[in-house]
């Protein structure tokens, strides 16, 4: 019987003026923020996909479609809470989550601890079960210069 499952998630958003810079459920002091139908929190979206993926539950776009007015301006924390509740209802417990945030927009390092705490609270795990890493892009590619944020996340689920 399978007792552990892993999942991977990825998300990418443009960073635009006039939007709050919410990543990992934390508002960062930055002049641009992730564009999107919801609050654009690419970190929580990638984590959602990792968790849903580990549980075999398709993906965030299927479960919370951006064509549905219900999710316009959605607080991504609600999407993550709903995803976690669903996998927990299937008997899974979140073991750990690891996240890479690639951007040349906001600096991630000063906010890693608060992001870990924010994400851990949403997952109902301790902050040591959540890791957050910021990466710059060496000035390469379409995200160079702070044009966007790309996030990878992995999740391990185990049976309770
Ligand atoms: Mg997204």
Mean pLDDT of the chain: 95
Q: Distance, CA 44 to ligand 1 centroid (Å)? A: 8
Domains of the chain: 4-159 (3.30.1330.50)
Q: Distance, CA 95 to ligand 1 centroid (Å)? A: 23
pLDDT at position 144 is 94
Closest CA to 41 of 55, 59, 57, 28: 28
Q: Tell me the CB-side half-sphere exposure of residue 43, using CA atoms within 13 A.
A: 31
Distance, CA of 136 to CA of 29 (rounded, Å) = 18
Residue 145 predicted with pLDDT over 80? yes
User: Which range, of 16-30, 36-50, 70-84, 121-135, averages the lowest pLDDT?
Assistant: 70-84
Give residues whose Cβ lies within 5 Å of ion ligand 1.
Answer: 11, 45
Residue 30 predicted with pLDDT over 90? yes
Measured at the alpha carbon of residue 116, what is the angle toward residues 79 and 4, in degrees to the nearest 5? 70
Distance, CA of 105 to CA of 43 (rounded, Å) = 14
Distance, CA of 135 to CA of 128 (rounded, Å) = 20
Give me the count of residues in the chain: 160
What 8-state DSSP symbol labels residue 102? E
Q: Distance, CA 1 to ligand 1 centroid (Å)? A: 33
pLDDT tens digits for range 51-109: 999 999 999 999 888 788 877 778 999 999 999 999 999 999 999 999 999 999 999 99
Q: Distance, CA 25 to ligand 1 centroid (Å)? A: 13
Q: Distance, CA 32 to ligand 1 centroid (Å)? A: 16
Contacts of residue 128, defined as CB under 8 A and 6 or more positions apart, other chains included, come to: none
Instruction: Check if the beta carbon of residue 34 is closer than 8 Å to that of residue 14.
Output: yes
Q: Distance, CA 37 to ligand 1 centroid (Å)? A: 8
pLDDT at position 66 is 79
pLDDT at position 71 is 77
Distance, CA of 51 to CA of 90 (rounded, Å) = 12
The average pLDDT across 116-121 equals: 98
The count of other CB atoms within 10 Å of the CB of residue 82 is 12
Q: Indicate left, alpha or beta for 149 from its phi (over 0: left) and psi (-120 to 50: alpha).
A: beta
Beta bridge partners of 123: none
């Amino acid at each position: 019987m399978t007792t552990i499952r892993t999942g991977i998630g990825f998300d990418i958003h443009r960073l635009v003026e006039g939007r709050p810079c919410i990543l990992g459920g934390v508002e960062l002091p930055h002049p641009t923020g992730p564009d999107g139908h919801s609050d654009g929190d690419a970190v929580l979206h990638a984590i959602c996909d990792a968790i849903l993926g580990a549980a075999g539950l398709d993906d965030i776009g299927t479960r919370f479609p951006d064509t549905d007015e219900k999710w316009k301006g959605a607080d991504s924390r609600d999407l993550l809470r709903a995803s976690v509740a669903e996998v927990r209802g299937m008997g899974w417990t979140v073991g750990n989550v690891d996240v890479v945030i690639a951007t040349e927009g906001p600096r991630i390092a000063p906010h890693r601890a608060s992001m870990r705490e924010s994400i851990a609270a949403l997952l109902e795990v301790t902050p040591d079960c959540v890791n957050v890493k910021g990466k710059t892009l060496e000035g390469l590619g379409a995200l160079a210069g702070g044009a966007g944020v790309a996030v990878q996340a992995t999740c391990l689920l185990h049976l309770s």
